[in-house]
Amino acid sequence: MYLEDLYVREKYRGRGFGKAFLTELAKIGVARGCGRLEWWCLDSNQPSIAFYLKMEAVQMDEWTVYRIAGSRLKELAQE
């Protein structure tokens, strides 16, 4: 299962909402036969990284994100 975005408003952080969301997604994933739950996080987002590591998430380093955007995306679409 791939999680696109998890955002908890600042005033609600530290109250267990993030863990509750991930716990519910884990339940859904297991029920649907998923073997893993994955998401992306910016390297600069240290509070989120600390939260994920506290939940015993494994930080992956074998993948690199690639992106085509803006004018190059439009150019590619015209090819």
Catalytic residue, chosen from 7, 12, 52, 66, is 52
Is 52 assigned a catalytic role?
yes
Residue reference for tokens 């989120």? 48
Report the distance separating Cα 16 and Cα 21, nearest Å.
9
Q: CA 2, 48, 68 angle in degrees (round to 5)?
A: 55
Residues with a catalytic annotation lie at: 52
